[in-house]
Amino acid sequence: MLKVINLTKYLVHFSLQFVVILNKKFLVLNLFKNNLKYYIQIPEYIEIKKFHLNLIISRNNIEKNFQELKNFENSLLIFFNNFRIQTKKSLLINGLGLKVSIKNNVLIFKLGYSNEITLLFDCFKFLINLKKYGLKGMLLNIYTFNKVILGNLAEKIYKLKKADQYKLRGISNKDKVYVLKLIKKK
């Protein structure tokens, strides 16, 4: 045994299988969320076993170059890092009549206008869930592995309807502290 890759750090929405096609071994990654399958060819001198949530990588043939094994390990780790969750952003959608729903890879916003606003996102890069927050609010949690694309998506959503300064109706960042203005009195 040369290397153990712990899969608990990565998204839990996939399963791993091993298949042999025309005498070549493949590792199959099956994503449950969007029904995609990825095939990674395993070189003939490498043995991979799955034990619970660990991948155990070992060498069959000792004469093979050790550097080739390390290159395969690194490429496998880079592939799994694409499924890793590292950052999260929480957006608060607050106000009567403001609603959000998710269908496939489309966010559908009803923000008090006469039409629905749709925002397409890449379900391969983002994991998005909705929760009810308070009486009139919804909490939109966005998870991803890249801070830049997370910030870009959050900014697009935030610009749809910014929260007002008096009652914080609209879309705001949950983690940010807002100072509300006093209501004008005559």
Q: Collapsing DSSP states into helix, strand and coil, what is residue 174?
A: coil
DSSP 71-107: HHHHHHHHHHHTTB--EEEEEEEESTT-EEEEETTEE
User: CB within 8 A of 104, min separation 6: which ones?
Assistant: 123
For 38-70, the pLDDT digits (tens) are 777 777 777 777 777 677 777 776 665 677 777
- Find, among 99, 161, 112, 128, the residue nearest to 34 by Cα: 128
For 106-142, the pLDDT digits (tens) are 889 888 877 888 988 876 677 788 889 888 888 999 8
Place of tokens 């006469």: 114
